[in-house]
Amino acid sequence: MPVKLLIQLSWRNIWRHRRRNAILVSAIAVAVTGVMLLNTMMRGMQQDLRNTAIENLTGHVKILEPGYLHDPGIERGFDILEGWQNTLPDHVAGWASRIRVPGVIMSERGTRGIQLVGIDPARESISFLGQAEVAGDRLSGPEDSRILIGGLLAEALDTAAGRRLVLVTQGADGRTREAGFRIAGVYRAEIAGLEKAFVFTGLAALQRLLGTDKITEISIRLDDEDRETSTIAALAETFESRAVASWRQLEPQAAAMVEVSDVTIYILFVIVMGALTFGLVNTLVTAVMERLRELGMLRAIGMRPRAVVAQVVVESTVIMAIGVAAGLILAWCVFSFVADGIDLTAFDDSLASFGMRPTFVPVFDIRDVALIAVLSLALSILASFYPARRAVKIKPLEALRR
Amino acid sequence: MERVVECRDVGRTYDDDAVPVHALRNVDFDLAAGEWVSLAGPSGSGKSTLLHVIGGLDQPTAGSVVVDGVEVTALATAQLSDLRLNKIGFVFQAYNLIPVLSALENVEFILQLQGLDRAERRSRSRDALHSLGLADVEHRRPGEMSGGQQQRVAIARAIVTEPVLLLADEPSANLDTSTTRELLEVLQTLNRERGVTILTATHDPMVMGYTSRQVNLRDGKVVRDDS
């Protein structure tokens, strides 16, 4: 039986019971809208978690000395290879080498444990520091021996740009190093925890203080996230004796949350659309029972059983397709109102504990549209199985006698 | 003359109830090309059952039924569908048109099942409708037509495939006298001018009056055949 004829017949049959089918299509549309909007939220949350993890000095990929993650310190530094950056793939957006050591910072008002990070400021466009607001001066270069501290740390130590603070850390020789630093500026970060944790100074200045010319990490940011694995493989060849780790390994909690939300999206979809499938089955069974005589006549004049099955399947698919299309359009319309972001500053503290920013930006992912379309199609075929079986079991003669 | 239908020792017994019901018993019946035969008899005599067995809508429990050289009892479900689609035209008591399609589309539908191209479908469907005086209603749906018009559309659908056999089960049951006469005139024209072989099951004397031969059944047996 020609597909065009099947679609034409199914389309007209749907209009035959327009009220009933309109209710069903509306239910599918509302469900798809809900699922799609929830997906945009989940995708937004995933992106936020991923970006936060990556911008939190991690990058997509990081090169470290093996064991540094479990026991960070200057003794796990390494020499940077001459011309290593020439081996970087084209899709690398930027890189930054740093030295990072634990330390203690002191003012007249208080003492705090911090991470002291030596940086080349020109290379930090790949981390949050590149976009952070700074009250006072930014660091001028790797030789700059002033420090940048976070706003919350400044408040805790009751200090400000231009004042001096004392830093204590361990040098490369294992002895304690203590030095006074002038505050060049006070930075603000979207994630509150960063402001409390990181104190930045020039890379060369910190190396001098620690008595070393080594670094502890190279952070790499990619243009194309999908090429993360191949980049890691390429870097592993260049840095044979180093650990080359992805952000997922370095930020396992964020990576796990991203994965969990992926699974949640599927589960949510199956639950909502699965429930609707029963509604579709009910409607199709009713439609088949109402048309027993007509289906019997079609069989009598020569329509093959498989064409009867195809008719029910196409009808189910057309109803689902209309509902899904309407739902996706509606979801897009609602999404366009909040596409620029939702202000969640009222929940800032709670969000910060999850590593999320106070402005939440939902993401309308075309892959979710494809996922919903494909799974809906599968469900509509599944839903039509039982009614189609009922339809094909109709004996033409019995149906005509009704 | 060439035989379109050959029934030999045909029996049909229904075992659905506790007591078997013999709807047909040892029926021998032939139908030659170009004939118009009426199967007559009271309700329960087996006339509709014989019509359905010949049309492949029901399977006999005994005997042999050959339609246009094909042994119907040996065919699988899909093959029976093809036989009905290509060799037999059906006119039902209750018209049984597809309500969501227009008259033209209803007639065209069966040609679509046969896989004909659009131009040929349209042309043949229009010819069939026009030959039955339905040019004015080709775009109307069944609900917008009278009973007589619907029955004529059903006839157009049945003959558009140029079947070897036209089966009509109580075609006048839902029609008034004047419409029945119009319908019978149409069938007579098809039979005489186009040579369409027709078999009708009826208990309407007016229908019997138009047919060239009458076969009477009673209790599932042929009791009279005026061939």
Return d(Cα A155, Cα A158) in angstroms, integer: 5
- The pLDDT of A205-233, averaged and rounded, is 89
ipTM of predicted assembly, 2 dp:
0.84
Predicted pLDDT of residue B199: 94
Which of A16, A307, A400 lies at the smallest CB-CB distance from B92? A400
Lowest mean pLDDT among A139-153, A187-201, A345-359: A345-359
Return d(Cα A40, Cα A265) in angstroms, integer: 10
Return d(Cα A172, Cα A174) in angstroms, integer: 5
Among chain B residues, the shortest Cα distance to A392 is held by B77
pLDDT at A223 over 90: no
Task: Write out the residues of chain B at the interface with chain A, using a CB-CB cutoff of 8 A.
Answer: 52, 55, 57-58, 77-78, 81-86, 90, 92, 94, 96, 98-101, 109-110, 112-113, 115, 157
Pairing of the two strands B21-32 and B3-14: antiparallel
Return d(Cα A23, Cα A326) in angstroms, integer: 13
pLDDT at B125 over 90: yes
Q: Strand, helix or coil at B97?
A: coil
Contact by Cβ (8 Å): B75, B58: no
Q: B78 and A2: CB-CB below 8 Å?
A: no
Cα A232 off chain centre by: 20
Give alpha helix (H) positions in B132-198. Answer: 147-159, 177-193
Return d(Cα B112, Cα B93) in angstroms, integer: 24
Q: Which amino acid is at A382?
A: L
- The pLDDT of B7-32, averaged and rounded, is 88
pLDDT at A98 over 70: yes
Q: Does A12 touch chain B (CB under 8 A)?
A: yes
Which of A293, A301, A303 lies at the smallest CB-CB distance from B90? A301
| pLDDT tens digit sequence for B77-113 | 889 989 999 999 988 877 788 888 899 999 998 998 8
Contact by Cβ (8 Å): A228, A61: yes
| pLDDT tens digit sequence for A361-380 | 889 989 889 988 898 888 88
Give alpha helix (H) positions in A17-102. Answer: 18-53
- The encoded tokens of residue B3 equal 């035989």
Residue B192: phi, psi to the nearest 5? Answer: -80, -45
pLDDT at B8 over 90: yes
- The pLDDT of A209-223, averaged and rounded, is 91
Residue A214: phi, psi to the nearest 5? Answer: -85, 170
pTM, two decimal places: 0.72
How long a stretch of residues is chain A?
A: 402
Which of B82, B92, B96 lies at the smallest CB-CB distance from A302? B82
| pLDDT tens digit sequence for A39-74 | 898 888 888 888 888 888 888 999 998 888 888 888
Predicted pLDDT of residue A356: 63
A3-16 and A18-53 helices cross at what angle (nearest 10)? 110
Return d(Cα A127, Cα A187) in angstroms, integer: 13
Q: Which of B178, B182, B156, B179 is nearest to B97 (CA)?
A: B156
| pLDDT tens digit sequence for A379-392 | 888 888 888 888 88
Predicted pLDDT of residue A371: 87
Give the mutation candidate from B24, B93, B113 for the A interface (greatest A CB count, under 10 A): B113
Question: Cβ contacts (< 8 Å) between B50 and chain A: which residues?
Answer: none
Question: Cβ contacts (< 8 Å) between A299 and chain B: which residues?
Answer: 81
Contact by Cβ (8 Å): A271, A370: no
Stronger pLDDT, A136 or B171, i.e. the higher one: A136
Q: Does A303 touch chain B (CB under 8 A)?
A: yes
Question: Cβ contacts (< 8 Å) between A305 and chain B: which residues?
Answer: 77-78, 81
| pLDDT tens digit sequence for A137-170 | 999 999 999 999 999 999 999 998 999 999 999 9
| pLDDT tens digit sequence for B25-72 | 999 999 999 999 999 998 889 999 999 999 998 999 999 999 999 999
Residue A389 φ/ψ region, left for φ over 0, alpha for ψ in the -120 to 50 degree band, beta for the rest: alpha
Q: Does A361 touch chain B (CB under 8 A)?
A: no
Which of A12, A293, A302 lies at the smallest CB-CB distance from B85? A302
Return d(Cα A164, Cα A109) in angstroms, integer: 12
Return d(Cα A68, Cα A95) in angstroms, integer: 19
Residue A300 φ/ψ region, left for φ over 0, alpha for ψ in the -120 to 50 degree band, beta for the rest: alpha
Contact by Cβ (8 Å): A136, A186: yes
- The residue behind tokens 């309700």 is B43
Residue A192: phi, psi to the nearest 5? Answer: -60, -35
Predicted pLDDT of residue B10: 93
Q: Which of A251, A269, A229 is nearest to A31 (CA)?
A: A269
Contact by Cβ (8 Å): A264, A88: no
pLDDT at B1 over 80: no
Spell out a b/e string for A172-199, using b for 16 or more CB atoms within 10 Å of the CB, else e: beeeebeeebebbbbbebbbbebbbbbb
Q: Which residues pair with B20 in a beta bridge?
A: none
A3-16 and B103-114 helices cross at what angle (nearest 10)? 140
Return d(Cα A375, Cα A276) in angstroms, integer: 13
Return d(Cα A386, Cα B147) in angstroms, integer: 35
Q: In sequence order, which residues have a C-beta less than 8 Å from that of residue A370 and are 6 or more positions away?
A: none
Predicted pLDDT of residue A402: 67
Q: Does A2 touch chain B (CB under 8 A)?
A: yes
Q: A302 and B84: CB-CB below 8 Å?
A: yes
Domains and CATH numbers, chain B: 34-58+76-221 (3.40.50.300)
Q: B98 and A400: CB-CB below 8 Å?
A: no
Q: CA A401, B12, B47: angle at the middle one, nearest 5?
A: 55
Q: Does A400 touch chain B (CB under 8 A)?
A: yes
Predicted pLDDT of residue B36: 93
pLDDT at B174 over 80: no
Average pLDDT, chain A: 86
Give whichever of A80-84, B90-94, B122-126 has the largest mean pLDDT: B122-126
